[in-house]
Amino acid sequence: MAADILTNLVTSLGNNFMSPITLAINLILSTIIGGIVLLILVEIFGKKFKEKVHPANAFLVVLIINIINLLGIVALISPFTSFIPMVTWILPALIWIVLIKLFFKEMKFTHAILVGIIGFVLSMFLIPYLVAMASGFVPSFG
């Protein structure tokens, strides 16, 4: 049932993914690893500046960002904001900042900006490396 829903979603997006199960595994794996990385980052900021954080929110932020990336929402919005230089870098960082501030309301805005930018950079470089390394331990469905 879940594979059928995911297959219909991916087919409606126009992407030709051969295995929706592999796509779901990658989504779950990147959410877990990205959530752990974001949780470590938020905990460091929380301890340093004595702000209260809820660990589950880190995983929700990463899950929402992964779904936004899967659906290609940034690519859909980019043509309407093409007059802004480097919009393909600014828009995802802005999404990170807004989601961090929404899910971690106790965090100051300047701290949310820092965590959002650092989280965006980590999601570009560190998290794909860790997901690729961990996916070697997950059986393939191909």
pLDDT score at 5: 62
- What's the Cα-to-Cα distance from 135 to each of 30, 37, 77, rounded to whole Å? 9, 16, 31
Q: H-type helices in the chain, by residue range?
A: 2-13, 20-49, 55-71, 73-77, 87-103, 109-134
Burial of 130 (0-12, 13-18, 19+ CB in 10 A): middle
Q: How confident is the model at residue 17 (pLDDT cuts 50, 70, 90)?
A: low
Burial of 68 (0-12, 13-18, 19+ CB in 10 A): middle
Residue, of 10 and 87, whose pLDDT is higher: 87
pLDDT digit string (tens) for 103-112?
Answer: 999 999 999 9
Burial of 95 (0-12, 13-18, 19+ CB in 10 A): buried
pLDDT digit string (tens) for 38-88?
Answer: 999 999 999 999 888 888 999 999 999 999 988 888 878 878 888 888 888
